[in-house]
A and B are shown apart, each in its own frame.
Chain A
Amino acid sequence: MARTNAIRESFGDKLFLTIVYIFLSIILLAVLYPLIYILSSSFSSPQAVISGKVWLLPVDFSLAGYKAIFSNPQIMTGYGNSLFYTVCGVLINVCLTVMLAYPLSKSTFYGRHLIMVILIITMMFSGGLIPYYLTVKSLGILNTRWAMLLPGAMAVWQVIIARTFFQSSIPKELGEAAELDGCTDIGFLWRVVLPLSKPILAVLVLMYAVGHWNAYFDALIFLKTQGLFPLQIVLRNILILNSIDSSMMVDANKMAAMQGLRDLLKFSLIVVATVPVLAIYPFVQKYFVQGILIGSLKG
């Protein structure tokens, strides 16, 4: 992208470039401001939040919102559950994805075209919500932790990404050499392919992990017991349905203070729920970009 400036820019070009910069700055502000607003509000006092004094920086710095969150058992259980679903879910996801993607990437694997067709059909057509629900119900895993792990055990898109990676980055000669040396397929996958595939494994882990952490749909339809709820469902109850049990308001003796704390809590809760993902994001951005690009190669 090295464009030399040997020829002087015309007035029109300069104007165009200025408009581009202004446009990008507006977008930058429009994306950044709501995030900053949430963050600053969460560190302000309840009074400052309700009266709309917070504009850019925290007003009357306080940690009241965060104190309320960390003393709330419901939110903490949700956090724990979400961690559990994310860790176990990702383990299952990555195993199944590799188990399917690797054979599909081998040209010596007879039947791979048929399996690809089977895979792609599921992307274009689905049985629908009700049959999906009834299937899970008939397996007897409704309202158990399995309902959060098994129905989403593998994503077709990720299988295609992994397959494309294996196909393009593992030299065929390597496989043939290993075969001559008497290495089995699984041995080759375990000892040679996987160590060479760390970048794609990172892509898979991250994509699946974000998916699990942010998901709420399966929990909404499959879970009834409070103790199993992931964080997102707890968030929905508090943030959107507004149902906060008044016992969780720790030092709220006065009604007014309680209302204020209730509003403040929403801001802090948004921060607490989003930080785990956003904090690692700048470091792993390249993996996501990679994932999107490998996925689009085949499209």
Chain B
Amino acid sequence: MPSSTGLIEREKTAAHATDTGSGSLLLLRDRGKRIKRHWQLYLLVLLPLAYLVIFKYVPMYGAQIAFRDFSPVRGITGSEWVGLTNFNTFFKSPNFWMLIKNTLIISTYSLLIGFPAPIILALALNEVRSMRFKRFVQMVTFAPYFISTIVMVSMIILFLSPRLGFIDHILSAFGVEAVNFMGVPSYFSSIFVWSNVWQGIGYGAVIYLAALSGINTDLYEAARVDGASRIQKVWHIDIPGIMPAATILLILNVGQIMNVGFEKIYLMQNPLNTSTSEVISTYVYKIGLLGANFSFSAAVDLFNSVINLILLLSVNYFARRVSDSSLW
């Protein structure tokens, strides 16, 4: 076997791995032989690679539309180059601060509530000694994950509607007047975030439960001998035990902070709540595809993607500096 095959099998080394073998001629010839012998593997990856190029990389190349004044007749590359004009228009538009503010409020709120919620559920489940109860709670809380966004939003609308929803039936039992929750702008982010928790808490807990079951039982034994209380065990053993998993997920979440999901927000919008519900992704869709203003909305989108990428890279850098866990 050629020496380069024994290399460490991690993506981290990807960049180095390509140049280590380049030295000797012998190795090169060996590599050629290896490629020839395994030509079928290259045949296999052709189709998937074609997919990646067509549906991922061509659109990336097409993102230059943001710097052009798109005309359908002349195509993306044929349209006139206008530099940063589209970006300037966006920064100066009255919508700019509203969009940034709404996007940040919804995503930060989501992060603050949605990130710890599954951890708390997992820690609580880990204390339960009846396996049947534990499994039942796990099964039930995981189930809403399978509900589609459309059904989820219709459930929210039904439950919160002043006429049909059980929330208003409860309120009216206490003599409170019916409220059209979906029409009140200040409720929007809370409805969005807490319904996400309802739907995702069981799914999110799976990783933490696995991390908890992987904790060395000697630690619990030692803690018991030392007379630690349950809360102390949770605090000093369980929480440190899930920190690596939590760090990774936090990095991923922060990297997505400008990406509040289009699908759910778009469905939850109505004319009454747009002042707090309009975020960058829904704006891009409305201006771009519904309003056919391709270049301008592509610029808004690109601005968003770049901010996201910067956030992801810097959070990862920061996590690597302060702890052992990072994405790469």
Binding site for B on A (CB under 8 A): 1-3, 7, 10, 12-13, 16-17, 20-21, 23-24, 27-28, 30-32, 34-35, 37-38, 49-50, 52, 55, 96-97, 99-100, 102-104, 106-111, 113-120, 122, 124-135, 139, 150-151, 153-154, 159, 167, 184-186, 189, 210, 213-217, 221, 232, 235-236, 239-240, 263, 266-267, 270, 273-274, 277-278, 281-282, 285, 288-289, 292-293, 296, 299
Contact = CB atoms under 8 A, between A and B. Distances in A.
Interface in B226-273: 227, 229-231, 245, 248, 255, 262-263, 267
Nearest to A125: B309
A106 B148 CA distance: 36
A28 B140 contact: yes
A134 B294 contact: yes
B59 interface: yes
A235 B154 contact: yes
Given A117-B14, A128-B63, A130-B298, A32 B140 contact: yes
Contact of A50 (B49, B147, B164): B164
B151 A27 contact: no
A278 B41 contact: no
Contacts of A189: 44
B103 to A, nearest CB: 15
Interchain residue pairs A-B with the least CB separation, the first 4? A127-B59, A131-B62, A214-B148, A128-B301
Nearest to A49: B164
Contacts of A108: 5, 34, 38
Contacts of A30: 198
A109 B57 CA distance: 23
A240 B166 CA distance: 18
Nearest to A14: B230
B22 interface: no
Contacts of A52: 164, 166, 169
Contacts of A131: 58-63, 65, 76, 298
A100 B45 contact: yes
Given A20-B128, A216-B150, A236-B267, A126 B41 contact: no
B222 interface: no
A20 B129 contact: no
A124 B139 CA distance: 32
Given A103-B44, A130-B294, A118 B52 contact: yes
B157 interface: yes
Nearest to A106: B41
B87 to A, nearest CB: 13
Given A109-B41, A236-B267, A270-B154, A114 B18 contact: yes
Contacts of B163: 50
A292 B206 contact: yes
B319 to A, nearest CB: 12
B104 interface: no
A27 B201 contact: yes
A119 B144 contact: no
A185 B210 contact: no
Contacts of A185: 38, 40-41, 44
